[in-house]
Amino acid sequence: MPKKVSSHKYGSLVFNDAVMQERLPKPTYKELKRVIDDNVPLDIDVANEVAHAMKEWAVEHGATHYTHWFQPLNGITSEKHDAFLTPKADGTALLAFSGKELVQGEPDASSFPNGGLRATFEARGYTAWDPTSPAFIKDEVLCIPTAFCSYTGEALDKKTPLLRSMAAVDKQAKRVLALFGKHPRRVVPSVGNEQEYFLIKEEDYAKRMDLVITGRTLFGAAPAKGQELEEHYFGAIRPTVNEFMKELDDELWKLGIPAKTKHNEVAPCQHELAPIFEKANVAIDHNLLTMELMKLIASHHGLTCLQHEKPFEYINGSGKHDNWSLSADGENLLDPGDTPEENLRFLIVLTCIIAAVDRHQDILRAICATCGNDHRLGGHEAPPAIISIFLGDDLGGIVDAIINGKPYQSHQRETMDLGVPALPDFLKDTTDRNRTSPFAFTGNKFEFRMCGSNQNLSDANKVLDTIVAEMFDECYHALKDVAAGGDRHAFKDAAMAWIKQTLTAHQRIIFNGDGYAFEWEAEAERRGLVNCKNTPEAVCRAYENPANVEVFERYGVLSPTEWASRYEVKLEQYAKLINIEANTMVYMARHMYLPALMRYARDIMRTALNSKELLGEASNAELKLARRINDGISRISDATDALEELNARVRATADMKERANACADEVIPAMEALRAPVDEMEALCGRDYWPVPSYNKMLYYV
Ligand code: ADP
Ligand code: MG
For 142-190, the pLDDT digits (tens) are 999 999 988 788 899 999 999 999 999 999 999 999 999 999 999 999 9
Higher-pLDDT residue of 414, 634: 634
Ligand 1 contacts CB of residue 461 (under 6 A): no
pLDDT over 60 at 485, yes or no? yes
Can you give the pLDDT at residue 420?
Answer: 45
Binning pLDDT at 50, 70 and 90, where does residue 372 land?
very high
- The domains located in the chain, with CATH, are 7-157 (3.10.20.70), 165-558 (3.30.590.10), 574-699 (1.20.120.1560)
Q: Is the CB of 189 under 6 A from ligand 1?
A: no
Instruction: Say yes or no: CB of residue 443 within 6 Å of ligand 1.
Output: no
Give pairs for 600-608: CB < 8 Å, separation 24+.
Answer: 600/629, 600/685, 600/686, 600/689, 601/626, 601/629, 601/630, 601/633, 603/686, 603/689, 604/629
Instruction: Please tell me if the CB atom of residue 287 comes closer than 6 angstroms to any atom of ligand 1.
Output: no
Check pLDDT > 50 for residue 534.
yes
CA of 701 to the centre of ligand 2 (A): 27
- For the chain, the average pLDDT equals 91
Measured in Å, residue 429 CA sits from the centre of ligand 1 at 14
* pLDDT of amino acid 381: 77
Query: Residue 325 C-alpha to ligand 1 middle, in angstroms?
Result: 10
Q: What are φ and ψ of residue 262, in 5° steps?
A: -140, 140
Q: pLDDT band for 355, please (50, 70, 90 cuts).
A: very high
Q: How far apart are CA 259 and CA 276, in angstroms?
A: 6
Residue 30 is predicted with a pLDDT of 95
The finding on whether 522 has its CB within 6 A of some atom of ligand 1 is no
Tell me how far apart the alpha carbons of residues 134 and 577 are, in angstroms, rounded to a whole number. Answer: 33
Residue 693 predicted with pLDDT over 70: yes
**Cβ proximity of 639 and 608 under 8 Å:** no
Q: What angle (nearest 5°) sits at the alpha carbon of residue 77, between those of residues 74 and 80? A: 115
Average pLDDT of the segment spanning 111-117: 76
Q: Establish whether residue 319 lines the binding site of ligand 1, counting it when its CB lies within 6 angstroms of any ligand atom.
A: no
- What's residue 423's pLDDT? 61
CA 537 from chain center: how many Å? 20
Pick the closest to residue 132 from 216, 39, 225, 260 (CA basis). 39
The neighbouring-strand residues paired with 187 are 328
Local structure of residue 515 (DSSP, 8 states): T
pLDDT value of position 108:
73
The conformation of residue 666, written as its DSSP 8-state character, comes to: I
Point out the least confidently predicted range of 161-170, 230-239, 418-427, 658-667. Answer: 418-427
Residue located nearest, by CA, to atom 14 of ligand 1:
192
Reported pTM: 0.94
Report the separation in Å between the CA atom of 334 and the middle of ligand 1, taken as the mean of its atom positions: 13
Note the pLDDT of residue 118. Answer: 60
Q: Mean per-residue pLDDT for 538-559?
A: 98
Residue bearing the bigger pLDDT, 479 or 233? 479
Distance CA 134, CA 285 (A): 9
Distance in angstroms (rounded) separating the CA atoms of residues 119 and 416 = 62
Nearest atom in ligand 1 to the alpha carbon of residue 444 is: 23
Pairing of strands 136-138, 415-416: unpaired
Protein residues with C-beta less than 5 angstroms from the ion ligand 2: 321
Q: What is the pLDDT of residues 273-308, one digit of tens each?
A: 999 999 999 999 999 999 999 999 999 999 999 999
Q: Which residues contact 426 (CB under 8 A, 6 or more apart)?
A: 394, 410, 412
Distance of CA 307 to the CA centre of its chain: 11
The answer to whether 144 and 128 have CB atoms below 8 angstroms apart is: no
- Please tell me the predicted confidence (pLDDT) of residue 412: 58
Q: Is 192 in the pocket of ligand 1 (CB under 6 A)?
A: yes
Atom of ligand 1 nearest to the CA of 324: 25
pLDDT value for 1: 44
Pocket perturbation via mutation, ligand 1, pick of 265, 445, 446 by most ligand atoms within 8 A of CB:
445
Ligand 1 and 325: CB distance under 6 A: yes
- Closest ligand 1 atom to the C-alpha of 277? 16
Average pLDDT of 383-391? 92
Mean pLDDT of 486-505: 95
